Amino acid sequence: MFFKYLLFFLLLSRFSASQQEDVGFTYNGFKGVNMSLDGLAQITDNGILLMANTTKREVAHAFYPHLVSFINSSSGNVLSFSTTFVFAMSSELPTLGGPGIVFVISPSRRFPGALPSSYLGLFNTTNIGNSSNHVVGVELDTLQNTEFNDIPDNHVGIDINDLKSVKAARASYFSDQENRRVNLNLISGHPMQLWVEYSGSKKQLNVTLAPTNVPKPTIPLLSLKINLSRFMVDPMFVGFSSSTSSLAVSYFVLGWSFKIKGKAKELSLSQLPKLPRMGPKPKPKIFTIGFPVIGASLVLILIFIIQFIVGRKKKFAEVLEDWELEYGPQRFRYKDLYIATKGFNDKELLGIGGFGKVYKGILPTSKEVAVKRVSHDSRQGVREFIAEIASIGKLRHRNIVTLLGYCRRKEELLLVYDFMPNGSLDKFLFDQSTTKAKLSWKQRFQIIKGVASALLYLHEEWEQVVVHRDVKSSNVMLDKELNGKLGDFGLARLYDRGEDPKSTHVVGTFGYLAPELSRTGKVSPTMDVFAFGVFLLEMACGRRPIEPRASEECIVLVDWVISSWNSGTILDTVDPKLEMNYEVEEMELVLKLGLLCSQSIPTARPCMRQVVRYLEGEVPQPKLPSLRRSVSAPSEGPYLLGNSSSPSSIANSVLSGGR
């Protein structure tokens, strides 16, 4: 009976030894795993084996709870084994770590009297280095302990019964891709993987290290020829030991795989628990990315706005001096005129003259205006010119285009007038390509009377004498009812009644200039009367004052009408576009007045009050003496008129700014 029990016991022991020889496990995280924990070691809620996370000088142990048989009972040699684990280490100081962590094979899970800090929770001052320890370990050390002959910090070492490593190397891995070694920082806080492999047949221990995002290198970090049978007993425990120093350090093991007599199963990295946040709490991306981007965008927008405002101010910059304040009500803002004309767009262009371009505009009040851009004549005092513009702006007559105001910008003046929807009279008289309707004689005669009434107002009825100096068909504007209104007072001159007008530059339009102007330079209402006479002939004959393409005797309109008057065929000069649809008496009156007003002697010309009385039929038609054409002198005009031998010229007058 005793032999039966003895045989059963031997078989059971052999079976148990066989089972232990085949020990293997794989932990992709430690959640729910039965581990033997001691000291600071703990398993976190998400399955991380936490070996240290404090500044206290304490130890931490975490072991597989069952004994493992490493020795082949028949040969007495240590069996081949393999293990791999993923770990991470961090410190409050990025360049200074703690004692570290060690993978350990030991006959016991308890280490009475073991010291923390550099002793890694395995030894003390009395037992360190003793052959009776039977401890084999692989340390991951981040401190250089000179007492243990450590190489510089951040190293991996193989320890046998002591912390003076049998072999050690700086933490690194061999990059197969780059064919070189790449250094690692053990306390970077990034997960890394360590492989420890022992070949029982070759008596060789290999240690390999690499980041988790790199495959296992083909060349190990440490390779040591050693027969572990000399140092190990049977059975033994496997696990981890660590200790802390005065620094706040954290040691984590995320997964662990172990196998006797074979290769440890690969860890599933994707299934490993996530490391907790280490170091200061990272600021939300809104602070690290969002706010800087928003801030930079706001700065760029602010710069753009400033540039836009500065550019806009420059764009709309005006010249405004103190003395102009009295003309405030008549001064327009350049910005308003710019917007009104859509940026002086060519689509809003009404016409082009010698003094500038005229644009249609709509003010913020919805009022339609005509804006004329004039290059200011620097020869005349700006102050005097603005004063005259302001004065002309006070003119109010049903047959005068109202000058609403002005704007001064750099060397440019902008004059703002009431808008005349039908444009200028000359387009109706001479433009063959226009789609404008023909003017009947009744409409023409009404326009003539309107312009005459306007000139009478300027010469005699306003507070000052105003000489327009540019009376012509292109400066007579037509409103929507085709009423004539005298406009464009850009050349007008004002002087007080009874005052002797000053000499001025000879300005005006070729064909309308009074001959005496080139000799005296004196401004007087008779100049407007002369131009009005030429205007009357334009209206009656439908011809411009000078027609270069006409026959020699018909080039100058006045000469041609004089010749027809003398031959008794004055009605032959009537505009054929009227097709004989006119009042003969009115036509003869207009032709006679045209010749009478165009006399070369200023005093022989009627005043505008007399002209208005003739047109209104208040007095009989004037009688004209026999008129003769001129014999032109080189410095004078192409014709003379009147019954005087005194020559007069309009053709070769000196022009300045004619339109």
Query: Which residues are catalytic, by number?
Result: 470
How many angstroms separate the Cα of 221 from the Cα of each of 172, 319, 361? Answer: 7, 83, 86
* Cβ atoms of 193 and 212 closer than 8 Å: yes
The length of the chain is: 659
Eight-class DSSP state of 172: E
Would you tell me how many other CB atoms lie within 10 Å of the CB of residue 328? 9
26-52: b (≥16 Cβ within 10 Å) or e: ebbbbeeeebebbbbbbbeeebbbbbb
CA distance 429 to 439: 8
Preceding amide of 606 cis, omega within 30: no
**Coil, helix or strand for 484?**
strand
Sign of CA dihedral 454, 459, 465, 467: positive
CA distance 336 to 215: 73
Would you tell me how many other CB atoms lie within 10 Å of the CB of residue 250? 22
CA distance 80 to 227: 11
450-466: b (≥16 Cβ within 10 Å) or e: bbbbbbbbbbeebebbb
Report CA 396 to chain centroid distance, whole Å. 49
Residue among 121, 132, 115, 71 nearest 239 (CA): 121
CA distance 322 to 445: 47
**DSSP character string of 598-636:** T-SSGGGSPPHHHHHHHHTTSSPPPP----------TTS
Query: β-pairing, 155-160 with 81-91?
Result: unpaired
Tokens of 277: 């946040």
**Coil, helix or strand for 189?**
coil
CA distance 406 to 386: 8
Rounded to 10 deg, the angle between the 525-541 and 584-597 helix axes is 140
Sign of CA dihedral 603, 609, 610, 611: positive
